[in-house]
Every structure is written in structure tokens, then in C-alpha cells.
Amino acid sequence: MSSTLLYRNALAAPVDLDGWVAEGPVAAAAGDDGLLLSSSGGFDDHWTLWCPEVFGDRIRISWEFSPRSEPGLAMLFFGAAAASGGGIFDDGLAHRTGAYSQYHSGDIRTLHVSYFRRRWEDERAFHTCNLRKSPGFHLVAQGADPLPPVVDARGAFYRVEVIKDGPDIAFSIDDLVLFRWTDDESTGPRVRVGRIGFRQMSPLVASYRNLEVHSL
């Protein structure tokens, strides 16, 4: 499959986040092998970090992820735009502070995959990766989560990939496909052009590196 590189970010140091938009208390530090991201707030102070680029409807997003301290949760938003049309930073949209309800049931239309779901006891007891569509908090796809706990990961990085081919979504970790889903618009208008953004739930500490976005 031929593709064109649209965006690349090594995510090696805090300077690599220049131009990104933080919502909530993001703390960034250079690690030995990637960019360490965590919350600078308390146990319930979560955050979202938006990439400065707007991407099209047919893209492949990939990055490397390494969990360093649990509990917590990691997520990627993609195709994020205003539900009424336009961008997520347009005037008139509600102010966002990192609280999840502002994203899943607010004025943003987006897809989001959560893939290191270890914040709550029930998530740690049965590991899954979830795909939700907003607004409306619709759980549209689910698959097994192959990521080990921090103690067993031992600093290893895992390649995470999201493919958005129009209405068709595929999610994989280290080339293992965990789910596929096609949007038939039964949960509202399809997610199309928009932004991508990382989200973490406190107190997770994780390292990221080598973010790339390709066109399909």
C-alpha cells in the first residue's frame, strides 16, 4: 500500500511539543529513550494533548508507547472536529480542561481508542482496548489488550497503529490487529477530517516516541 508521510515527530524532548495544545495539567520530561508524559495534578487531574495539524479522512497513525508507572489509562483521539462543523478550537465551543465528559458527550465529533486501560479495578481485572465514537459515548468496537503491566513491560516500547480509511477503522499493537470496525452512521454522522490528540488519565506515567501520520 503506497502512502505519503504527512507528519513526523520524534517525541524525544519537551521542545517537540511546541505548537501542541494542552488541555489539563500535562507534565513532559525527556527520558532516556522517549518523551515521558504524566499529570502535574492530582489523582483526578487528567489531560489531553492535541497535535497542531489537521489530517484528512484516510490516514495511518503510528507511535511507540511504553508504560512506566500504573495505574492509569492511555487514549488517542482522531478525526476530532466540532460536531457542528469547523475545528475544535473555534470560538463558541465549550472550554475544555481534560475532564472526559467534555470530549465524549460535549460539542466535539471524534473517535477515540483507549488501549492501556488500568485506571480502575475492573479494567485491570479484564484488559480490553475500546473504540468509542463521540458525541454520545458510543462503544463501537472492542478487542483484547496484549500490553503487559509495567512490571513485566520493563521499559519496552510497543508500536501502536490506527488506520482510518474513510469509514473503516483498524487498530493494532505490534502488528497484531485487535479490532476492525466500519461506521454505518447508525451512531450519528461519520467522523471525517480532524485532529489527533493523546490523552492520559492520572496517575499514569508513560513514554512516547516516533509519532508518524501517513496518508493512505
Tell me: the pLDDT tens digits for 58-77? 999 999 999 999 999 999 99
The pLDDT tens digits of the residues spanning 150-164 come to 999 999 999 999 999
Residue 1 has a pLDDT of 52
pLDDT class for 3, splitting at 50, 70, 90?
Answer: confident
| CATH number of the domain encompassing residue 32 | 2.60.120.200
Residue 54 has a pLDDT of 98
What secondary structure letter does DSSP report for 17? G
Q: What is the mean predicted confidence (pLDDT) over 104-132?
A: 95
Q: Give the domain range for residue 167.
A: 4-215
Q: What is the DSSP string of 98-165?
A: S-THHHHSSSEEEEEEE----SSHHHHHS-EEEEEEETTTEEEEEEE--PPPHHHHTT--EEEEEEEE
Number of domains forming the structure of the chain: 1
Distance CA 216, CA 214 (A): 6
Question: Is the pLDDT score of 9 beyond 90?
Answer: yes
Using DSSP, state whether 16 is helix, strand or coil: helix
pLDDT class for 2, splitting at 50, 70, 90?
Answer: low
